[in-house]
Every structure is written in structure tokens, then in C-alpha cells.
């Protein structure tokens, strides 16, 4: 039986249960991403994100299970124009304009990323698993094939030492899968509760500092994804025959992200047009604004 958490609907999460239920798969899993108005604008990251699903190998069938969480009214309006499942996340009493671009580690940026963790915990409490994906990630193949039945949490990695069970791998919480159970709900509570101990830090380094403690205390089972398959600009696989997702991490500035992600999609389109006997010759077009040949795994 899946974990069945509390069903009361607070003002902060009004309408979330229904939105998740509409988007979820038969096994109660939902793909979630978050956007503000800047990321959802025409020609921006949301458009590239959705396009990747449409042109990826076996990913179009996953689009009906993507729930786009909009952090402001403008993002919600734009989402409704381009996608089936949209949820406007409002936080009572929080007076922050989420619509504008947020600079990395600014006060508003930190509020945005930590708010996502609260929403993720609520989804687990509703009895659903999720795969969270940043909107600057291109989905080229189905990543669920790389999620094991063993792990409570499966997370991408910026620094990977070759063993998915090695807790010394560096996590990237821009892409992770979590099952709904008592261990993972407790994990998200401890994780969010530690925010005050690490002022000025976003959720990713806090998780990295806490992961071994949570594994020991909760019996949490964590596995890491090989960047040969689930890659990013920090570290990515050079073989287009293996790559599953590509994340515009290690990349500052929305214009740089858009430029290089367009290049990723162009390279993918060129790869898919090749006859099968030529595909092994395909390569990424580098360098870009952020993507670099020396970052290949």
C-alpha cells in the first residue's frame, strides 16, 4: 500500500490534491517542475522544456503526467496557454514577487527554492511519488528506466564516483525521484527544518550536508544517477546514444541557458535524423555559452 498521509487541505495547498490526481500515472507518480513568469515567457525555458518531451525518444507519452507549478499569476496564465496541467502555488502571508528573474542565492531566490520543498513534501503526504525536474532540463529519453525499486530517493549527480550507492557523490536536487513513504516524508521535514541552521544556503548544499545523517537516522535509501545518462553542463555523457536528460546547470544567466539548451535540442534533432548506422558518429556541438567539451564524462 502506498503511504497515505493527511488529506486536510490547507490554504497554502488549496487545489493541489486535485491537480496532482489529474496528472498522476496509474501508479500514483507525478512529474513536477516549477516556473515563474520569466521562465514561462514565450521562447523561454518552459517552451524548450515542453518541446524536449515532444521530440524525445519515448517521452511524449510522459507529457500528460507533467504538473507545472506556477509561482505567480503570469506564469500560471502562460502555462494554461501551452500545457494541460498547471497549478498556481500561492503562499499566504509571503509578500514576494516571484514573477521577476531571481538571482542565484538572492533572498527571493532562496524563498522560491525552499518553497518548492514544502510543496514536494505535501505531495508525498497525499500518497503520491514524484519526479522533480528543473525546467532547464531537456528530456530526451525516459528517465524512469534508471530509477530502481530499491531507492527511496534517486537523485542526479554533479560529481559522480562511479557507484550509485556511494553517498560521497555530490547530489543535484534539480532532478530527483522520491517514493511516498514515512522515511521520505520524515526526510523532507528534517531537510526543510534545517534551513535555519544554514542561512544563505539553498536546499541542495543543505541536503548534501545532511544526507549521511538522514540515511543513518531514518534508514533512507538513496541512489545517484550516472551523468553519462542523466547529465548536465557540470558533467555530461558524450554519447548521444545513451543520454537521457541534459540540465543547464553550471550556467549563469537565463539567456545563456536558453542559447545552449537550444543547441542541445538542435543536436538531438540532428541525431534522430541520422540513419542508425551513422548515429554513433553524432557529437554535441561545443563549446557554447556554458557547455564545454572538458565536462564530458
**Is the CATH number of domain 16-224 3.90.550?**
yes
Confirm if 153 and 51 have CB atoms less than 8 A apart.
Answer: no
Once rounded to an integer, what is the mean pLDDT over residues 271-296? 88
Q: For residues 160 and 139, give the distance between their C-alpha atoms in angstroms, rounded to a whole number.
A: 20
Domain ranges across the chain: 16-224, 230-295
Confirm if 171 and 155 have CB atoms less than 8 A apart.
Answer: yes
Q: For residues 95 and 174, give the distance between their C-alpha atoms in angstroms, rounded to a whole number.
A: 25
Rounded to the nearest 10 degrees, the angle between the axes of helix 107-125 and helix 182-193 is: 160
Look at the chain and count its residues.
297
pLDDT at 22 (0 to 100): 98
- With left for phi above 0 and alpha for psi between -120 and 50, is residue 4 left, alpha or beta? beta
pTM of the predicted model as reported, rounded to 2 decimal places: 0.92
- Cell 503511504, residue located: 3
pLDDT of residue 189 exceeding 60: yes
Q: Which pLDDT tens digit goes with each residue over 39-97?
A: 999 999 999 999 999 999 999 999 999 999 998 999 999 999 999 999 999 876 655 55
Amino acid at each position: 500500500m502506498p503511504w497515505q498521509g493527511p488529506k486536510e487541505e490547507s490554504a497554502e495547498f488549496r487545489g493541489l490534491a486535485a491537480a496532482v490526481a489529474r496528472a498522476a500515472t496509474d501508479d500514483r507518480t507525478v512529474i513536477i517542475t516549477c516556473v515563474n513568469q520569466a521562465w514561462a515567457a514565450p521562447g523561454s525555458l518552459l517552451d524548450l522544456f515542453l518541446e524536449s518531451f515532444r521530440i524525445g525518444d519515448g517521452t511524449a507519452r510522459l507529457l500528460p503526467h507533467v504538473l507545472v507549478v506556477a509561482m505567480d499569476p503570469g506564469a500560471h496564465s502562460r502555462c494554461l496557454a501551452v500545457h494541460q496541467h498547471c497549478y498556481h502555488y500561492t503562499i499566504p502571508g509571503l509578500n514576494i514577487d516571484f514573477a521577476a528573474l531571481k538571482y542565484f542565492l538572492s533572498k527571493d531566490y532562496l524563498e522560491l527554492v525552499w518553497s518548492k520543498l514544502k510543496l514536494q513534501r505535501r505531495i508525498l503526504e497525499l500518497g503520491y511519488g514524484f519526479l522533480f525536474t528543473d525546467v532547464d532540463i531537456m528530456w530526451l529519453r525516459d528517465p524512469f528506466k534508471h530509477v530502481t525499486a530499491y531507492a527511496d530517493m534517486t537523485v542526479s549527480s554533479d560529481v559522480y564516483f562511479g557507484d550509485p550507492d556511494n553517498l560521497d557523490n555530490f547530489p543535484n536536487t534539480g532532478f530527483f525521484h522520491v517514493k511516498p513513504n514515512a522515511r521520505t516524508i520524515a526526510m523532507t521535514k528534517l531537510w526543510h527544518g534545517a534551513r535555519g541552521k544554514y542561512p544563505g544556503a539553498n536546499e541542495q548544499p543543505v541536503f548534501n550536508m545532511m544526507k549521511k545523517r538522514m540515511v543513518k537516522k531514518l534508514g533512507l535509501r538513496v541512489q545517484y544517477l550516472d551523468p553519462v545518462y542523466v547529465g548536465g553542463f557540470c558533467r555530461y555523457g558524450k554519447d548521444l546514444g545513451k543520454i537521457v536528460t541534459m540540465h543547464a546547470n553550471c550556467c549563469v544567466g537565463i539567456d545563456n541557458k536558453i542559447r545552449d539548451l537550444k543547441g542541445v535540442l538542435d543536436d538531438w534533432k540532428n541525431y534522430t535524423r541520422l540513419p542508425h548506422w551513422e548515429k554513433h558518429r553524432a557529437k554535441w556541438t561545443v563549446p557554447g555559452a556554458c557547455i564545454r567539451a572538458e565536462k564530458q564524462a
